[in-house]
Chain A
Amino acid sequence: MMAAEKLKQAFVKSLAVPESVITDSLEYNSIKEWDSTAHMILIAELEDVFDVMLDTDDIIDMSSYAKAKEILRKYDIDC
């Protein structure tokens, strides 16, 4: 699976939302499903899927789907 698809599926699984919800404009205040609990489920999923260890500041900064792509790029993951 390509990194972009892995990322999308990680969001679908962690936030428990349909794939259609996952767009670059998705931000954590924009849907009720993306709360602090879902955020930590998402972080665990991303670390598992991409085999990375994210800095805590990156975990805090990951406030949108687009931002997740940008942060993962720092870890040489191009989504």
Chain B
Amino acid sequence: MSTYFQRYGVTIKTLTESDLEMVRNWRNSPEIAQHMLDQSYITADMQRKWFNGLVNDNSRAYWVAWFKGEPIGVVSLVNINRSEGTAEPGMYIYPQQYRNNIVPFCVAFILNDYAFDELGLSLLYGKIFTDNEASVRFHEKCGYVQVNERKPSHEMTNVPKQLLHYELKEANYKSARDPIARFIRY
């Protein structure tokens, strides 16, 4: 898995031990945690055990996303299945000024490009809480299609809310990406 990948003005760098406390603070912030399947408070000890579990685990990869020389969020691929060509992506952006404009698309695109172009995957899938309308719109704009089937999940939700299941095929992604990527002029 690459430790460094750059596109759309964004660089993703493999999550390191020195990132852990920053990422834990982001992840525990209410504005990020409210959209997570597991909304438990994460202690430093829990975070370290989770990080140690990533070593030698080829089915999971986490990166810090950098924009304009600043770490702004986390992107991930879990349940990576090379033989089936599938994975479950995840992302969040912490600074408020980068959440509601073109930057989330830049971050999603670099992750999707990495999954499809570098890893050679053919299908990404995920779940969104039904009340997260912005995320639903965002994923549909990126080419995701709602499906009924239940894919395996890397974590079970501890939140009593309904989930929508989405899938992204490579061709749908590239058709959706290009009309937006034309605005990324770095």
Q: How large is the interface on B (under 10, 10 to 19, 20 to 34, 35 or more residues)?
A: 20 to 34
Query: Do the beta carbons of B134 and A56 come within 8 Å of each other?
Result: no
Interface of B is mostly: helix
Contacts of B99 in A (CB 8 A): 36
Task: Mark each residue of chain A from 56 to 72: 1 if its CB lies under 8 Å from any CB of chain B, else 0.
Answer: 10011011000000000
| Chain B residues with a Cβ under 8 A of chain A | 9, 96-105, 133-134, 137-138, 141, 179-180, 183-186
Query: Do the beta carbons of B100 and A29 come within 8 Å of each other?
Result: yes
Q: In the complex, A53 Cα to B182 Cα: how many Å?
A: 10
Query: Do the beta carbons of A37 and B141 come within 8 Å of each other?
Result: yes
Query: Do the beta carbons of A43 and B102 come within 8 Å of each other?
Result: yes
Tell me the residues in window 25-77 of chain A with beta carbons closer than 8 Å to chain B beta carbons: 28-29, 32, 34-40, 43-44, 53-56, 59-60, 62-63
Query: Do the beta carbons of B134 and A43 come within 8 Å of each other?
Result: no
B142 (CB) vs chain A CBs: closest residue: A37
B180 smallest CB distance to A (angstroms): 6
Contacts of B97 in A (CB 8 A): 60, 63
User: Shortest 3 CB-CB distances between A and B: which pairs?
Assistant: A35-B134, A37-B137, A36-B104
B121 smallest CB distance to A (angstroms): 24
Contacts of B9 in A (CB 8 A): 56
Contacts of B134 in A (CB 8 A): 32, 35-37
Q: In the complex, A62 Cα to B183 Cα: how many Å?
A: 14
12 contacts between A and B (CB under 8 A): A35-B134, A35-B137, A36-B138, A37-B134, A37-B141, A39-B101, A40-B183, A43-B102, A56-B102, A56-B184, A59-B102, A62-B101
Q: A37-B141, A56-B185, A62-B101 are in contact. List 10 more A-B contacts (CB 8 A).
A: A28-B100, A32-B134, A35-B100, A36-B105, A40-B102, A43-B183, A44-B179, A56-B9, A59-B183, A60-B102
